[in-house]
Structure 1
Amino acid sequence: MRQATFVERRQEGWERLDALLQRAERSTLRALGPDEVAEVGRLYRWVTSDLAFADGRSYDATLRAYLNRLTARAHALVYGGSSEGGASRVARFYTQTFPQEVWRSRWYMLLAVVLFLAPAGLAYYLIHTQPLNAFVLLPADMVAPIHKGLHETNFEPSQAALGAPTLSAFIMTNNIRLAFMAFAGGMTLGFVTVYVLIENGLILGGLAALYVDAGFGRDFWATIAPHGIIELTAVQIAAGAGLVIAGGILAPGRLRRRDALVRNARRAAILIVGVASMLVVAGTIEGFFSPQKFPADVRLAVGGITAVLLVLYFVVPNARRPQLRADSST
């Protein structure tokens, strides 16, 4: 791309960022409204990419110096140039930065959800229609004791799910492992991320089929629901973060592959910090519910409430922000 064309296409964004920075620099970041703060973050990512592109094409030194100064000013504002204290920054991370990055990366998240739920649905169908398929689709050391317990002994419904604490602890531990494997798998071009999503989708769908077909489906879902909704959401976000990293490698766009990887890794880092916090919350809920004998209806209600709260947290506020467009490549 010729330098003149590049400047013509991008100059409006640079000037907008400069105007916002001037306002903030005259006082503090608080001088900007919430939408303008989010816009500064978006424009900062753009100008960082533009600087890398201009450097890569060896454009005029004056242009590169201008972009470098603009990037430095935006970086100082976004990452420490404000008068916010530590508590305010933490609050801003959880109320703005993290949920907005999830929304921005939503197509990666949707792909992760499909790669998890499609195998889950397939496993459920295949085992529901032919129970022996469980020995093909699921690990044998998992299927044998569950199958024996469900079909060869007289369980009380409240004990159906392996013993609720046992199943609950297994699922929680597995989900934590899955989340971080799916995230790290982004560095393998996403192959490991895809593999762990498919494998664990098969496991969840297969377990559901075994318990539902044995008449213990309600107990199964009631055991998972209180903490599982948050955990499974965290897993999809972690996997989406892994796919964001893979996207930087596979589809760098206008940037050099290294620069695209660095940019996307920063985005993924925001996501995985949020995921870790979600898993802490889920663990706290699991620790409260597992030792207690709450009725299934209460457990299911808690799961439903957490699902609603997650939608309110991630979707509703961000869907109203036109500047937070889904971004699958930049």
Structure 2
Amino acid sequence: MDVDVFVAAHRPAWDRLEHLTKRSRKLTGAEADELVLLYQRAATHLSTLRAKAPDPALVEHLSAVVIRARSAVTGTHSPAWREFGLFFSRRFPAAVYRSWHWWVPVMVVSLLASGVVSAWIALNPEVQAAVAAPEEIQQLTAPGGDFESYYSSDPAASFAARVWTNNAWVAAGCLLLGVLFGLPVLYILGSNVLNIGLSGGLMAAAGRLDVFLGLITPHGLLELTAVFVAAGTGLRLGWTVIDPGRRTRAAALGAEGRSVVLMALGLACVLLVTGVIEAFVTPSGLPTWARVGIGVVAELVFFAYVFILGRRAAAAGETGDLDARLTAATTPSSG
């Protein structure tokens, strides 16, 4: 696609949209209808540019135009319940969707690495001996041992709160510490891979891999996905420090940082769901297929939420950032 031709063809409509947006409180009925139509067209143009000609400066400019127009179309007064609804229906899923090029590879690599570590430990008795004493391994892997009893070690409600708090801190660490060139995120991911691989390998060596998968799958699918989303987003933030693109480093970090904070809030809610599953479903008396089925359904719902709802919101111009009315104005930059 020739970007110059595309811009020349649609620039008058964008300028007209900006003009109507500024006059949104004084529009006639016909002008209000025109505002809605131009907003819808501009959102489509933004989606096209992102897909076929991702010029950062142009996309950023048109995103701002679309966001301001959407505010004019939907009204300036936003009750708290409406902001709450917009966050979960548009901003959070769009933010997760926009980061999928980072967190999906992180997820694939981490799961493969965990599998390799598990197989290495399970197939090498000398590695097992180096990891822990035989009696410690027996205590961990035996029926009713530490691995199984962990999930019922406390009353369900307090266990759910403890698990949620811990996982929320891990996700927040991945997100916020990514600004340090992503290095802390790699450490957190490595620790996560080793922990899963170690437990899985020892349980497999004891002939209890089915028990391991039956206990970790109900909550672990969605829980690990949330951590991978946080890690991928944190790594993207770290890369923004290294290469901010055509924006100034301060502007790029401001935009990405706001999106990261919003995502931390959203992932805390996702991890609350996984904490409830881990406390009430994982140690329950339900058959294994039912417990695993609940975990699979929760994972599929999250993927549908991101790749259907989030994709639509992103295509409509949602960036996962705060509403333009709540952010400071920035000056254009070139590079």
Residue matched to 1:234: 226
Residue matched to 1:216: 208
Q: Is 1:155 paired with 2:149?
A: no
| In structure 2, distance between residues paired with 1:121 and 1:163 | 22
> Secondary structure in 1 aligned to 2:148?
coil
**What pairs up with 1:79-118 in 2 under 5 angstroms?**
82-118=76-112
Which structure 2 segments of 5+ residues have no match? 25-30, 51-55, 320-335
CA shift, 1:191, in A, is 0.4
Residue matched to 1:255: 247
Sequence identity percentage = 24
Higher relative contact order (CA 8 A, sep 6+): 2
| In structure 2, distance between residues paired with 1:323 and 1:71 | 14
**What pairs up with 1:137-152 in 2 under 5 angstroms?**
147-150=137-140
| In structure 2, distance between residues paired with 1:172 and 1:132 | 36
Output one character per residue of 1:203-245: Cα deviation in whole Å (capped at 9) or x when no partner: 1122112112212222222222232222111111111221121
On the 8 A contact 2:94/2:314 being kept in 1, the answer is no
| In structure 2, distance between residues paired with 1:213 and 1:302 | 27
CA shift, 1:196, in A, is 0.8
1:244 is matched with which residue: 236, 241, 247?
236
Residue matched to 2:266: 274
CA shift, 1:21, in A, is 5.3
Structure 1 pair 112–35 and aligned structure 2 pair: CA distance change class (3 A): farther
Residue matched to 1:285: 277
Output one character per residue of 1:258-277: Cα deviation in whole Å (capped at 9) or x when no partner: 22111211222232121111
Structure 1 pair 186–156 and aligned structure 2 pair: CA distance change class (3 A): closer
Structure 1 pair 320–279 and aligned structure 2 pair: CA distance change class (3 A): closer
Structure 1 pair 50–160 and aligned structure 2 pair: CA distance change class (3 A): closer
| In structure 1, distance between residues paired with 2:44 and 2:258 | 18
| In structure 2, distance between residues paired with 1:23 and 1:129 | 69
CA shift, 1:33, in A, is 11
On the 8 A contact 1:108/1:240 being kept in 2, the answer is yes
2:180 is matched with which residue: 183, 188, 202?
188
Residue matched to 1:164: 151
TM-score by length of 2: 0.70
Amino acid at match of 1:149: Q
Residue matched to 2:117: 123
On the 8 A contact 2:218/2:282 being kept in 1, the answer is no
| In structure 1, distance between residues paired with 2:66 and 2:40 | 19
Which structure 1 segments of 5+ residues have no match? 1-5, 54-66
Amino acid at match of 1:100: A
CA shift, 1:14, in A, is 6.2
CA shift, 1:106, in A, is 1.0
> Secondary structure in 2 aligned to 1:161?
helix
CA shift, 1:115, in A, is 4.6
> Secondary structure in 1 aligned to 2:196?
helix
> Secondary structure in 2 aligned to 1:315?
helix
**What pairs up with 1:48-63 in 2 under 5 angstroms?**
50=57
| In structure 2, distance between residues paired with 1:155 and 1:252 | 53
Structure 1 pair 72–298 and aligned structure 2 pair: CA distance change class (3 A): closer
On the 8 A contact 2:121/2:201 being kept in 1, the answer is yes
On the 8 A contact 1:102/1:314 being kept in 2, the answer is yes
> Secondary structure in 2 aligned to 1:203?
helix
Structure 1 pair 211–174 and aligned structure 2 pair: CA distance change class (3 A): farther
On the 8 A contact 1:172/1:228 being kept in 2, the answer is no
Amino acid at match of 2:96: V
CA shift, 1:95, in A, is 1.6
CA shift, 1:116, in A, is 2.3
CA shift, 1:201, in A, is 1.0
| In structure 2, distance between residues paired with 1:12 and 1:310 | 39
Residue matched to 2:53: none
Aligned residues: 301
On the 8 A contact 1:241/1:272 being kept in 2, the answer is no
Amino acid at match of 1:147: I
